[in-house]
Structure 1
Amino acid sequence: MEHCILQVALDTPLDLTFDYRWRQTAAEPLPQVGQLAIVPFGRREAAGVIVGIAGHSEVPEAKLKDVLAVRSQLPPLSPQWLALCGFAADYYQRPLGEVALPGLPKNLRILKTVALDRALKKLAKSVTEHDASPVNTPQLNAEQQQAVSAIAEAKGFAPLLLYGVTGSGKTEVYLQAAAGILAAADAAGELAQILILVPEINLTPQLESNIRTRFPGLDVVSLHSGLAEGERTLNWLAAHLGRARIILGTRLAILASLPHLKLIVIDEEHDPSYKQQEGLRYSARDLAVWRAHQLAIPVVLGSATPSLETWQHAQAKRYRKLELRERAVKDAVLPQVRMIDMERDKPADGLTSTLVAALKLRLERGEQSLLFLNRRGYAPVLSCDSCGWISNCTRCTSFMVLHKPDRRLRCHHCSLELYIPKSCPTCGNIDLQPLGRGTQRVEEGLQSLFPQARILRIDADSTRLKGSAQTAFDSVHRGDVDILIGTQMVAKGHDFKRLTLVGVMNPDTALFSHDYRASERLFAQLMQVAGRAGRAGQKEGGSVSQVMIQSRYPNHPLYSAVVGHDYDGFATSLLEERQQAALPPFIYQALLRAEARELDTALAFLQDAVACIEHHGITMHDPIPMTMTRVANVERAQLLVECSSRPGLQAFLKDWMQILRQTKTRAKWSLEVDPVDI
């Protein structure tokens, strides 16, 4: 029997690896770097990644513990994958294990191998001959063909911005570019994998169905958090073993093991959903670009409204810009955008007479309409006119939202639920009134206005059950819905063939947000939801596709840009403002957050964090309470750090984190690099 020392990275807050003793038996092969190991850690078993193998350890022999198991039935994770995790750990200032382990299926991280062995057997039985040749390939227009050719001809690392208006056929470009790369690999006797990222889970079923139809002989898998554990294990293994040729996923898929990756596509690259907001706060878009650079492959960033960071890269010629200025379907044109002045056309039940008349016309013509309101629930707040009581959350700095169908008040931040009070808790008044409108209240009003219409609401409340979102979208695609009401879930990616009218309700609040990114997000949101209309072209005798935006500020420059479909002008103007104000992408930021039962404790920690290190060339702003100061009875504060140099900021953060990790405090703290919400 021989033994060696395995250096293992574990999912812990400690930024170090742990040494374990491995004893060889006759039946076991030697372990390799990149394999998974199950080890004792404290009083529990933990999974880790082997990152080094040594002949001895600095840890005394008596304190070394034995490895419980090594996943030798799996090929090791590649050096490139380990390098990706290492980069993410360094850049986002997290331990390596916190990056590498959470993205792996749970069935790989437990001592028992029953589920893993079952998945491996299932994969082994399903071996088939694959043909990457697509079927039923649509004819491309000139712009689409130029884009496909540019991707196919790209050599080495090639970041490409596919800037196309909504409905311009960006997905078709992705698929035909992927087909070309797969076919070229097959001809050379090589394996190739394509990774396509989408911002949200509900966008995967329709796209996956299209891909499977186009490539019937190929293994296509999805990777996202909505999968059952067994399915996620099977799909991850198919990707890791090279069986899956096209991998479709949300942001977590960027950390998947893809040993034969040849192309990365980031659809709707501007979407903030690509930024993880808990734990490892990474940007899947940024990691995708780094991974493409690491592997020397093309990466395509697609959007009708690119992020300002991506737009600046394209303007500076760091990214190649490929443009699709026309809609792909013959006779399909961008919808007319019309502003409705709510000071002149006073709304009743949230809807102006102009919008009601437009909805009625579509109903008469058998066409579909979409009402977009990015606020779920019945009303944002319940109030008492007599004493001024409002439904504040007792645990958060927020209101409790009225959910009338459930007869509940619900906090959307801490999930606290209460029955709707029968009378005012302060003065006893029984006449409590809802203030404002959410999607539930709009649905109620429409049912009263159009009792014969088939009305469907799609939001986080109506799609809680697994599969319910896809069922709802399928009913829209079949034409079983006349009026669709929805939040941002319906605003992007969906191809509604029968939809000719989009009505936008209550967008004005974003015009006056303290968040400097609010205008960028509002513009993107409006352009994306507007793009749902008229995608199939105007039918004979049908309506001209229209977008109607209700606003009290119809002459605002942002709305003028939306009316003109002028992203170029809007983005150029916004970049000039950002440069003058020294805001990203012209400066680099990190945000240190602290949480505690008392706000003073969180602020004191942040003040000590400022004082604990010299920060020449670094701007450290004063610690302040967060906008949402209290969530679930936890007080929160933040400290913004800025630097004109990305390497300078990274060097500072590395030294700073070493100090902060040794600081004793009652506050819980975390660091976010390149924050998107400040």
Structure 2
Amino acid sequence: MLVAHVALPIPIYRLFDYQLVTPAEVGMRVKVAFGKRKLIGIIVRIDQHSELDIQDLKPIIEIIDKNPIFTTQIWNLLKWAVNYYHYPIGEILFHALPILLRQGRTANYDEVKQWQLTELGRKIDIQTLSRSPKQKLLLSSFRSNSTIETNFKLATYHELQKKQLIEQVITQKKLNEWRNNFSINPDSIKLNNEQACAISAINKQNHHFRVFLLEGVTGSGKTEVYLNVLSNILTSGKQALVLVPEISLTPQTIKRFQQRFNAPVDILHSALTEKQRLNVWLRSKLGENAILVGTRSSLFTPFKNLGIIIIDEEHDSSYKQQEGWRYNARDMAIIRAKIENIPIILGSATPSLETLNNAQKHKYQLLQLTERAGNASLAKQSILDIRGLVLTAGLSQPLIEKIKQHLFLNNQVILFLNRRGFAPLLICHDCGWIAECPRCDRPYTYHQNQHKLICHYCDTARLVPEQCPKCGSTHLMPIGFGTEQLEKQLEILFPNTKISRIDRDTVSKKGALDSYLQNIQQGGAHILVGTQILAKGHHFPDVTLVGIVDVDGALFSSDFRATERFAQIYTQVSGRAGREAKAGEVILQTYHPEHPLLNVLLSKGYQEFAKLTLQERQQTQLPPFSYQVLIRAADRNNYHAPSFLQKIHNWLKTNYDNTLWLLGPMPANQPKKASYYRWQLLLQHFNRQRLQQILEQLIIEMGTWNETSKVKWSIDIDPIDN
């Protein structure tokens, strides 16, 4: 008797054994009994062995698939992920499937039911239906092969069916053979030498694995390089996967793909219905689309003939999953490209330090675009010292005067503030009470338009109180400022100028961002206020001034990656200015004009900043010159979590030498969230493989402890958020 070792979508580090009484293969989905429930599982291994008596094993209830649900390449990718990320295999396998497939839906298109004429329906004299005018009209419509009127009631169809004049048949969806009609729409853009060299280098590796870092200053024409490389891939009949940090941020890029290629471009993101997501998954697997543009989880989409992977804005932290299975889509995309033996492009104006380090070691081939495309020149950058100046919603008078100058010339202005809402604090003027989220022990953010207090950590909201709950005063004051308050102040200062606020609060509705962008593209005086959504991937030809309102918080963070993130956001935002023939200007307001990071960025640019920061990381042995794992634990009583992590710390200290560096247990940067107290323990080692071996042994050991079941815990490999 054969035994199927099945992975189930539960957070347990093991497989479950079932009797296999009918033929099946590894990678097929099955329905099994698990306790009192029935679950969908995936067969991971088939043999004749079990730790239990085979006769006592429950049989598999149903084999759902005729073939394995995963392609060989995806299966190998997921097996690698299980070993690297040390996360339960069942949850990893099911994460890689559309939700409908997780629920047991068949991996096929829905059958299409169609009405058609019977033999009798073709021959009968239509006048025999004179007493039933609707039936006569419907039959006439079938006879003429014209589009069937949709205003016919279903009962009319059924009447014709009873008379055996029409019948309902089930047909399979026809495959879309886009390759037969593929063409490239000509473009008038002339490539510069750097773009041409980059395209040539990538095309030479058309059929082999190679990682390319396409480092190009903002506005240097990285998208044009993508388009030319894709032309080569698609012409050979292959498909392409393009990953983007957030689908709502790149409508212009997607539009350019659709304009350039006469071929189907699919978009995959969380706003789609589950049925739409499954259909995109099927189209990719069957080879019906040419390009798939998607966010992080699109990485697991199967393809019939994948030819290239492009990771746009490869530095973006959105590629790192921060809940559940904490994988990095950029890193896994490189593993997938290696498995598929295809090239992969990592594109960015501000590459991550890990990526730059790999390029310096020649693991990746560096391709640089140092010139802005067309006639555009780099924007003039300056620091504005705001010490002692009066600020109005964060704006100094010199910056207000600059805004006036640029608007007078009928240009557009971006004001960047990475803090949404009206104010980060609501405080009682009389007693000092602060409105705090009880679940997170953090201040609520005041949102005036919604008349709500919203916690930006757990997303809970409450109405603004009429009076202070502590002293009864009605004198409640907002302290600080966010994008909402900045927008309102600008409406007062510039009453005759269009103002658009672009942050998560304003673009959450479908189509909202597109509407804003169309409005901006119409040109003319316009002020854009927003968070980092404004920094990514947008092309605003009329923007000539970028004002960065508040950056000082990022300069003094305890997170060693904070300066890297700030440098990336600053460079990305400042790159929105002067992208075509118009000269651009960037002004940065700060209380610390002498800060070395600011001065390096403004005088020498991101490359020099990255070089100096990599030297600092090497001296302090921080990533990418060492490897980290963060073990997190949380509980509701603030006792079990630190105790559990202390036990891990003690076990590691006892069993491993000082080459394993430990920091903690200590409270997380956000110590309380959604009523849970959060603690963490950081592991660091100079050898990645050795760190992986230590983790394997630790997880086995933790499985024997009672404390493991008393806390919510997780393992984060290569954490980016400490």
TM-score, with structure 2 as normaliser? 0.87
- Residues 1:36 and 2:29 are matched in the alignment: yes
Q: Retained in 2: the 8 A contact 1:204–1:249? A: no
Structure 1 partner of 2:606: 567
Deviation, structure 1 residue 529: 0.7
Deviation, structure 1 residue 4: 5.3
CA gap of 1:647–1:55, structure 2 versus 1, over 3 A, is closer
- Residues 1:15 and 2:13 are matched in the alignment: yes
Pairing partner for 1:180 from 222, 232, 240: 232
Deviation, structure 1 residue 23: 4.7
Equivalent position amino acid for 1:52 in 2:
R
The range that moved more, 472-481 or 94-103, is: 472-481
CA gap of 1:497–1:102, structure 2 versus 1, over 3 A, is same
Q: Retained in 2: the 8 A contact 1:625–1:636? A: yes
Equivalent position amino acid for 1:158 in 2:
R
Structure 2 partner of 1:659: 701
Residues 312-365 of structure 1 deviation map (CA, whole Å, 9 limit, x = unaligned): 11112221111100111x211111112111015432231112221222223222
- Residues 1:158 and 2:210 are matched in the alignment: yes
The range that moved more, 659-668 or 599-608, is: 659-668
The range that moved more, 605-614 or 138-147, is: 605-614
Deviation, structure 1 residue 22: 4.7
Q: Retained in 1: the 8 A contact 2:27–2:44? A: yes
Deviation, structure 1 residue 636: 0.6
Equivalent position amino acid for 1:589 in 2:
Q
Distance in 1 separating the partners of 2:260 and 2:38: 44
Q: Retained in 2: the 8 A contact 1:123–1:238? A: no
Seq. identity, %: 40
Distance in 1 separating the partners of 2:221 and 2:17: 52
CA gap of 1:249–1:480, structure 2 versus 1, over 3 A, is farther
- Residues 1:629 and 2:679 are matched in the alignment: no
- Residues 1:210 and 2:256 are matched in the alignment: yes
Distance in 2 separating the partners of 1:204 and 1:43: 46
1:446-595 equivalences under 5 Å are 446-479=490-523, 482-538=526-582, 544-564=583-603, 566-595=605-634
- Residues 1:146 and 2:177 are matched in the alignment: no
Q: Retained in 2: the 8 A contact 1:618–1:642? A: yes
Structure 1 partner of 2:462: 418
Structure 2 partner of 1:615: 656
Q: Retained in 1: the 8 A contact 2:19–2:57? A: no
Deviation, structure 1 residue 304: 0.8
Deviation, structure 1 residue 277: 0.1
Pairing partner for 1:95 from 84, 88, 94: 88
Pairing partner for 2:713 from 657, 669, 672: 669
Equivalent position amino acid for 2:589 in 1:
Q
CA gap of 1:646–1:353, structure 2 versus 1, over 3 A, is same
Structure 1 partner of 2:314: 269
CA gap of 1:351–1:14, structure 2 versus 1, over 3 A, is same
Distance in 1 separating the partners of 2:616 and 2:700: 36
Q: Retained in 2: the 8 A contact 1:75–1:241? A: no
Equivalent position amino acid for 1:124 in 2:
K
Any idea what SS the aligned residue of 2:432 has?
Answer: coil
For structure 2, the residue ranges without an aligned partner over 5 or more in a row are 113-169
Structure 1 partner of 2:148: none
1:428-447 equivalences under 5 Å are 428-447=472-491
Structure 2 partner of 1:27: none
The range that moved more, 194-203 or 62-71, is: 62-71
Q: Retained in 2: the 8 A contact 1:33–1:76? A: no
TM-score, with structure 1 as normaliser? 0.92
Deviation, structure 1 residue 69: 3.6
Distance in 1 separating the partners of 2:552 and 2:171: 56
- Residues 1:50 and 2:43 are matched in the alignment: yes
Deviation, structure 1 residue 445: 0.3
Distance in 2 separating the partners of 1:46 and 1:433: 53
Deviation, structure 1 residue 601: 1.5
For structure 1, the residue ranges without an aligned partner over 5 or more in a row are 25-29, 187-191, 539-543
Pairing partner for 1:308 from 347, 353, 356: 353
Any idea what SS the aligned residue of 2:174 has?
Answer: helix
CA gap of 1:34–1:295, structure 2 versus 1, over 3 A, is same
Distance in 2 separating the partners of 1:481 and 1:107: 47
Deviation, structure 1 residue 451: 1.0
Deviation, structure 1 residue 244: 2.1
How many residue pairs match? The answer is: 657
Any idea what SS the aligned residue of 1:262 has?
Answer: strand
- Residues 1:106 and 2:157 are matched in the alignment: no
Structure 2 partner of 1:195: 241
CA gap of 1:168–1:651, structure 2 versus 1, over 3 A, is same
Equivalent position amino acid for 1:88 in 2:
A
CA gap of 1:77–1:114, structure 2 versus 1, over 3 A, is closer
Pairing partner for 1:223 from 256, 268, 271: 268
Distance in 1 separating the partners of 2:174 and 2:345: 33
Residues 401-426 of structure 1 deviation map (CA, whole Å, 9 limit, x = unaligned): 10111111111112232222223222
Structure 2 partner of 1:134: 184
Pairing partner for 1:336 from 352, 355, 380: 380
Equivalent position amino acid for 1:13 in 2:
P
Distance in 2 separating the partners of 1:608 and 1:427: 45
Structure 2 partner of 1:189: none
The range that moved more, 620-629 or 276-285, is: 620-629
CA gap of 1:572–1:639, structure 2 versus 1, over 3 A, is same
- Residues 1:71 and 2:58 are matched in the alignment: no
Distance in 2 separating the partners of 1:129 and 1:181: 12
Q: Retained in 2: the 8 A contact 1:376–1:440? A: yes
Deviation, structure 1 residue 126: 4.1
Any idea what SS the aligned residue of 1:470 has?
Answer: helix
- Residues 1:321 and 2:366 are matched in the alignment: yes
Distance in 2 separating the partners of 1:226 and 1:505: 32
Deviation, structure 1 residue 114: 10
Any idea what SS the aligned residue of 1:418 has?
Answer: strand
Distance in 1 separating the partners of 2:465 and 2:673: 22
Q: Retained in 2: the 8 A contact 1:38–1:68? A: yes
Equivalent position amino acid for 2:193 in 1:
A
Q: Retained in 1: the 8 A contact 2:245–2:316? A: yes
Distance in 2 separating the partners of 1:282 and 1:95: 13
Structure 1 partner of 2:161: none
Residues 162-203 of structure 1 deviation map (CA, whole Å, 9 limit, x = unaligned): 1100010101111111211232x34xxxxx221111111213
- Residues 1:596 and 2:635 are matched in the alignment: yes
Residues 80-104 of structure 1 deviation map (CA, whole Å, 9 limit, x = unaligned): 2111001111111012221121231
1:281-296 equivalences under 5 Å are 281-296=326-341
Structure 1 partner of 2:134: none
Distance in 2 separating the partners of 1:257 and 1:634: 38
1:250-261 equivalences under 5 Å are 250-261=295-306
Any idea what SS the aligned residue of 2:500 has?
Answer: strand
